[in-house]
C-alpha cells in the first residue's frame, strides 16, 4: 500500500511539475514575428529568404518547445519606422508575439525596439548595421546579433588606410545606419593617420548616383567610400564603373557589401573589392553543410544575415527550452549565459549591452580566374578576433553598462 501511495505521489508531482513548466509558456505557444524589407532595397540580403532561414530553424527544432507549439507571423516593414512601430505594437499587444526577428533597416530596428521595451518583449536584430543599436539606443529587450558598423570600420577602413588610402570621400545613406557607419569610419581613418576630405549624404534609397560619383571624382580623395547598403551600394558601384572612377586612380571602398550584392554585380565588376563580413557560406564545413540545405530551398547561397537569423532563432528557442518559459528577461539572461557554438559562430557571447560578439572577417572578392562557380566569390584575408572587432564596453554609452 505504501509503495502504491509513493508511486501515485510521484506521478502527481511529476504531472504538476510538467504542467507548471508548460504553463510558464504563455498561451502554450511561442510566437515569433519576422519583420523585414520584403520588397525593397534590402530584399535580397534578408527579405523572404530570411523568413525561410527562420522557418528552417523552427523546423529543425521540431516545431515545438517543451510541448508548446512555435508559430510564425511575418510582415513587410517597407523600410518605414512608422510601419514597423504599428506592426510590432499590433503583434505584441493583440497577437501575443513573444519575439521579433529579422529587423534590417536601422531606423526600423530603433523604432521597433522602443515598442518592445515598452511591452517587455524580445527582439533579435540580425540585419541592421548601426552600432548605436547597442550603444545609445540599447534596451534590455533586444539583442544585436550579426554585425554592426564598428567592425565594418575596423575591418575594411583600417585595411584600406594601412594600404596607403589616406584621403577619403565618404558617400553616406542619409539615415541612422549611414550616419553610424560614417562616424565609425571617420574615427578609424583619422586614428590611423588619414583624412576625411569630404562627406556627402544621399537620400535613402537613391536610383541615380551620377552626381554623387562626379563629386567624388572631383574631390581629389584617394578613397571613395560607400556608407550604404543593398541596391544603393550596387547602383553606386555600377555608376562608378561607368564613370571610370577606379581607372582614374581612385580606390572604391564598399563598407557594407553582401554576398548577394557581389553576385548581382559579378566578379568582373566587383573583383578586388575588400569588405568585412560576419560570416561566409564557404568558410568551414558547418557553414557549407547548412548553406547546401539553404540553397536547396531558395536557389541562392545565404548572406551573413540569413545565417544569423537561423542561428539566433535556434539560440532563442534553446533558451526558452532550458528556462522553461517565454518570459523575456529570463530568456534573454539564459541567452547571455550560453555561448554560441554553431554554423554561424564559434565562441560567440552576448554582452550586457545586447551585442553578440564573435569573430569577424576581412574578405576580398575573387578575380574571375580564381572563382570556380557563381557563388565562389570571397577569399578570407584575415580573421578579426571578437575582442578587437566590436566597440569595447569601456567606451559604451549604453544605460545597461556600468563603466
d(CA 218, CA 190): 21
What pLDDT, on a 0 to 100 scale, did the predictor assign at position 21?
41
Q: Which residue has the cell 504538476?
A: 16
Neighbours of 234 (CB within 10 A): 25
Q: Which of 365, 372, 359 is nearest to 279 (CA)?
A: 359
What is the C-alpha to C-alpha distance for residues 243 and 253, in angstroms, rounded to an integer? 16
Residue 166's alpha-carbon distances to 160, 191, 223, in angstroms, are 8, 11, 8
Residue 3: what pLDDT?
Answer: 40
Beta bridge partners of 144: 125, 355
What gap in Å lies between CA 167 and CA 248, rounded to an integer? 15
Alpha helices, H only, 61-175: 81-94, 106-119, 149-152, 158-162
Task: Report the alpha-carbon distance of residue 86 to residue 174 in Å, rounded.
Answer: 23
| One fold for 28-147+284-350 and 150-277+360-382 | yes
What DSSP state is assigned to residue 133? G
Let me know how long the chain is. 403
Per-residue pLDDT of the chain (403 residues; tens, 9 = 90+): 444 444 333 343 333 333 444 448 999 999 999 999 999 999 999 999 999 999 999 999 999 999 999 999 999 999 999 999 999 999 999 999 999 999 999 999 999 999 999 999 999 999 999 999 999 999 999 999 999 999 999 899 998 998 899 999 999 999 999 999 999 999 999 999 999 999 999 999 999 999 999 999 999 999 999 999 999 999 999 999 999 998 888 999 999 999 999 999 999 999 888 899 999 999 999 999 999 999 999 999 999 999 999 999 999 999 999 999 999 999 999 999 999 999 999 999 999 999 999 999 999 999 999 999 999 999 999 999 999 999 999 999 999 998 6
d(CA 201, CA 180): 12
pTM above 0.85, yes or no: yes
Please give the C-alpha separations between residue 283 and each of 46, 146, 344, in angstroms, as whole numbers.
20, 16, 10
Output DSSP code: residue 155.
I
Beta pairing class for 378-384 and 360-365: antiparallel
How many Å separate Cα 80 from the centre of its chain? 18
The residue ranges of DSSP E strands in 133-250, in sequence order, are 142-144, 167-173, 195-202, 223-227
Distance CA 33, CA 149 (A): 25
Q: What is the 3-state secondary structure (H, E, C) of 192-208?
A: CCCEEEEEEEECCCCCC
Q: In which element (H, E) is residue 32 found?
A: strand 29-36
Fold for the domain defined by 150-277+360-382: Rossmann fold (3.40.50)
Cα separation, 354 vs 140, in Å, equals: 7
Residues 6 or more apart from 349 whose CB is under 8 A from it? 336, 339, 340, 356, 357, 358, 386
CA–CA dist 298, 371 (Å, integer): 22
Cα 221 from Cα 224, distance rounded (Å): 7
Q: What is the enclosing helix (H) or strand (E) of 290?
A: helix 285-298
What residues does each domain of the chain span?
A: 28-147+284-350, 150-277+360-382
Tell me the fold of 28-147+284-350. Answer: Rossmann fold (3.40.50)
- The total of other beta-carbon atoms located within 10 Å of residue 196's CB is 18
What pLDDT, on a 0 to 100 scale, did the predictor assign at position 403? Answer: 63
Amino acid at each position: 500500500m505504501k509503495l502504491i501511495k509513493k508511486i501515485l505521489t510521484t506521478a502527481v508531482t511529476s504531472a504538476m511539475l510538467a504542467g507548471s513548466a508548460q504553463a510558464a509558456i504563455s498561451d502554450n505557444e511561442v510566437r515569433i514575428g519576422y519583420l523585414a524589407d520584403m520588397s525593397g532595397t534590402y530584399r535580397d540580403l534578408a527579405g523572404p529568404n530570411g523568413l525561410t532561414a527562420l522557418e528552417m530553424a523552427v523546423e529543425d527544432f521540431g516545431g515545438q518547445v517543451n510541448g508548446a507549439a512555435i508559430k510564425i507571423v511575418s510582415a513587410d516593414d517597407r523600410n518605414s519606422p512608422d510601419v514597423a512601430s504599428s506592426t510590432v505594437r499590433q503583434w505584441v499587444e493583440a497577437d501575443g508575439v513573444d519575439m521579433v526577428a529579422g529587423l534590417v533597416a536601422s531606423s526600423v530596428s530603433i523604432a521597433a525596439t522602443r515598442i518592445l521595451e515598452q511591452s517587455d518583449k524580445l527582439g533579435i536584430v540580425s540585419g541592421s548595421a548601426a552600432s548605436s543599436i547597442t550603444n545609445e539606443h540599447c534596451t534590455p529587450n533586444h539583442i544585436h546579433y550579426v554585425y554592426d558598423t564598428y567592425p565594418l570600420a575596423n575591418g575594411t577602413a583600417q585595411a584600406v588606410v594601412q594600404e596607403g588610402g589616406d584621403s577619403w570621400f565618404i558617400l553616406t545613406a542619409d539615415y541612422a545606419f549611414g550616419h553610424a557607419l560614417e562616424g565609425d569610419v571617420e574615427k578609424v581613418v583619422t586614428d590611423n593617420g588619414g583624412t576625411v576630405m569630404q562627406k556627402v549624404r544621399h537620400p535613402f534609397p537613391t536610383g541615380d548616383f551620377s552626381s554623387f560619383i562626379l563629386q567624388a571624382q572631383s574631390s581629389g580623395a584617394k578613397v571613395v567610400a560607400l556608407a550604404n547598403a543593398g541596391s544603393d551600394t550596387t547602383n553606386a558601384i555600377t555608376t562608378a564603373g561607368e564613370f571610370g572612377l577606379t581607372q582614374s586612380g581612385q580606390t572604391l571602398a564598399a563598407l557594407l557589401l553582401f554576398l548577394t550584392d557581389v553576385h548581382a554585380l559579378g566578379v568582373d565588376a566587383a573583383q578586388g573589392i575588400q569588405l568585412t563580413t560576419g560570416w561566409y557560406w564557404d568558410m568551414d564545413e558547418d557553414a557549407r553543410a547548412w548553406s547546401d540545405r539553404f540553397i536547396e530551398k531558395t536557389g541562392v547561397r545565404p548572406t551573413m544575415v540569413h545565417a544569423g537569423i537561423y542561428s539566433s532563432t535556434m539560440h532563442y528557442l534553446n533558451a526558452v527550452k532550458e528556462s522553461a518559459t517565454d518570459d523575456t528577461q529570463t530568456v534573454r539572461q539564459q541567452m547571455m549565459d550560453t555561448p554560441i557554438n554553431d554554423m554561424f559562430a564559434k565562441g560567440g557571447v552576448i554582452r550586457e549591452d545586447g551585442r553578440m560578439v564573435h569573430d569577424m572577417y576581412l574578405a576580398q572578392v575573387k578575380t574571375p580566374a580564381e572563382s570556380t562557380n557563381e557563388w565562389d566569390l570571397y577569399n578570407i584575408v584575415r580573421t578579426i578576433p571578437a575582442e578587437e572587432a566590436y566597440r569595447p564596453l569601456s567606451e559604451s554609452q549604453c544605460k545597461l553598462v556600468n563603466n
